[in-house]
């Protein structure tokens, strides 16, 4: 996948189809909705907010975008209690203290104003850059290909952090009191994902282009399986996708996502399955359904019954 130079760079895209083609180059099959959101994000310089069930490929989309742009992926995994020190910057305190002691030992602190000492300490060389600052200050060698900033599972962070994020995303700049402002020369392409454990604030949503990633259609899932797991035969991929689609209709606690169907197809190949049969499902169901209740429900209906329902028609 890596090293694949795409014909169109993210900043020259002229149509939604360009986006679809470029992402397909990265083995990511985007539908028109997602491609439109990405296209608009590139043209309007807006963040994308991706929501959807777990395992539908939200994070993968950001990775594919990064591989396409070549600007690298900077990932900020959100969690409860995340704050500026972990998301933006922190001072390297131990080195600061060492520096102070060293200066003192050399007698350099005699008669030096506190403000001068401060300037020395709060210098960029003592600055520890966290993901957000890295994304904004990535000028470096090639400023024309900004990184892709993935802010993963923003719903896990608390409201305070979200408000702070909004501030950064509206200006693509952050101010560090001791140094000054960092402003991105070319704003990074920002992808925010959320699992909807709580509602993301309206102001943040308004700032973003929104896309709800749903489970793929059977045809698309077959294509995805063929691209991501080329050694899975077309016939098996089709059966796998059909069964997955059927399971998603059964009202399970955790319907299988694309990640699970991919795992499942791999598992089926590993145990040497060519034609899907109830036994093969029984052996590999753990890769597909991750709740005991879900497995029991599927078993109660009978794997044979599910198979004949999707294949018999």
Partner 1 sequence: MAPTAERTLDRHLVRFADALRAAGLAVPLISTLEFGRAVAEVGAERRDGVYWAGRATLVHRPEDIPLYDEVFEQQWLGALDRGRPATLPSPVTLLFDEPGGEPEEEVEPESPDGDVLSVRFSRVEVLSTRDFAECSDDELAELHGLMVRLRFAGESRRCRRMGPSARSGRLDLRRTVRAALRTGGETLSRRYLEPGERPRRLVLLLDVSGSMEAYARALIRFVHAVIVGRRDVEAFALGTRLTRLTRELSTRDPDAALARAAEAVTDWSGGTRLGDGLRLFNDGWGVRGMARGAVVVVLSDGWDRGDPAVMSEQMQRLSRVAHKVVWVNPLKAAPGYAPLAQGMAAALPHVDEFLEGHNLDSLEVLARAITAE
**Can you give the binding site for partner 1, defined by CB under 8 A?**
16, 32-33, 36-37, 39-40, 43-44, 46, 51, 79-83, 85, 90-91, 93-94, 96-97, 100-101, 103-104, 109, 114, 117-118, 121, 155-156, 158, 160, 170, 195-199, 202, 205-206, 209-212, 253, 293
Pick 160 or 305: Cβ nearer partner 1 = 160
Pick 18 or 263: Cβ nearer partner 1 = 18
Please state the closest distance from residue 300 (CB atom) to partner 1, in A. Answer: 13
Pick 123 or 266: Cβ nearer partner 1 = 123
Pick 158 or 223: Cβ nearer partner 1 = 158
Please state the closest distance from residue 129 (CB atom) to partner 1, in A. Answer: 16
Please state the closest distance from residue 14 (CB atom) to partner 1, in A. Answer: 10
HSE-CB at 237 with a 13 A cutoff on CA atoms is 19
User: Per-residue DSSP letters for the chain?
Assistant: -TT---SS-GGG--SHHHHHHHHHHTT----HHHHHHHHHHHHHT--EEEEESTTSSHHHHHHHHHHHH-S-EEEEE--TT--HHHHTEEE-HHHHHHHHHHHHHTTTTTT--HHHHHHHHSSGGGEEEPHHHHHHS--SS-TTSPPEEEEE-GGGS-HHHHHHHHHHHHHTEEEETTTEEEE-SSPPEEEEEE--SSPPPHHHHHHSEEEEEPPPPHHHHHHHHHHH-TTS-HHHHHHHHHHHHHHHTTT-SS---HHHHHHHHHHHHHTT-SS--HHHHHHHGGGT--SHHHHHHHHHH-HHHHHHHHH--
Please state the closest distance from residue 99 (CB atom) to partner 1, in A. Answer: 9
Pick 174 or 268: Cβ nearer partner 1 = 174
Please state the closest distance from residue 24 (CB atom) to partner 1, in A. Answer: 17
Pick 210 or 229: Cβ nearer partner 1 = 210
Pick 37 or 289: Cβ nearer partner 1 = 37
Please state the closest distance from residue 307 (CB atom) to partner 1, in A. Answer: 26
Please state the closest distance from residue 230 (CB atom) to partner 1, in A. Answer: 29
Pick 259 or 269: Cβ nearer partner 1 = 259
Please state the closest distance from residue 31 (CB atom) to partner 1, in A. Answer: 9
- Alpha carbons 1 and 70: distance in angstroms, whole number: 12
């Amino acid at each position: 996948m890596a090293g694949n130079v795409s014909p169109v760079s993210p900043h020259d895209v002229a149509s939604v189809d360009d986006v679809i083609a470029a992402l397909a180059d990265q083995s990511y099959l985007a539908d028109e909705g997602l491609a439109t959101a990405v296209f608009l994000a590139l043209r309007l310089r807006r963040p994308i907010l991706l929501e959807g069930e777990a395992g539908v490929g939200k994070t993968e989309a950001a990775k594919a975008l990064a591989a396409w742009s070549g600007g690298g992926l900077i990932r900020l995994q959100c969690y409860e209690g995340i704050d500026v020190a972990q998301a933006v910057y922190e001072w390297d305190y131990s080195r600061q203290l060492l520096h102070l002691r060293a200066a003192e030992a050399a007698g350099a602190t005699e008669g030096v104003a506190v403000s001068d000492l401060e300037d020395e300490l709060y210098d960029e060389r003592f600055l520890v850059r966290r993901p957000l600052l890295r994304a904004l200050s990535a000028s470096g060698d090639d400023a024309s290909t900004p990184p892709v900033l993935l802010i993963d599972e923003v719903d896990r962070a608390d409201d305070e952090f979200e408000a702070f994020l909004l501030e950064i995303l509206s200006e693509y700049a952050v101010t560090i009191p001791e140094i000054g402002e960092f402003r991105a020369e070319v704003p990074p392409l920002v992808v925010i994902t959320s699992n909807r454990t709580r509602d993301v604030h309206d102001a943040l949503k308004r700032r973003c282009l929104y896309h709800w990633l749903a489970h793929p259609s059977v045809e698309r899932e077959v294509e995805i399986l063929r691209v991501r797991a080329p050694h899975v035969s077309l016939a098996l991929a089709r059966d796998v996708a059909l069964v997955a689609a059927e399971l998603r209709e059964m009202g399970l606690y955790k319907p299988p996502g694309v990640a699970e169907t991919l795992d499942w197809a791999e598992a089926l190949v590993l145990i040497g399955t060519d034609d899907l049969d109830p036994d093969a499902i029984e052996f590999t169901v753990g890769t597909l359904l991750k709740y005991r209740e879900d497995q029991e429900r599927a078993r109660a209906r009978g794997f044979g019954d599910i198979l004949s329902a999707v294949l018999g028609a």
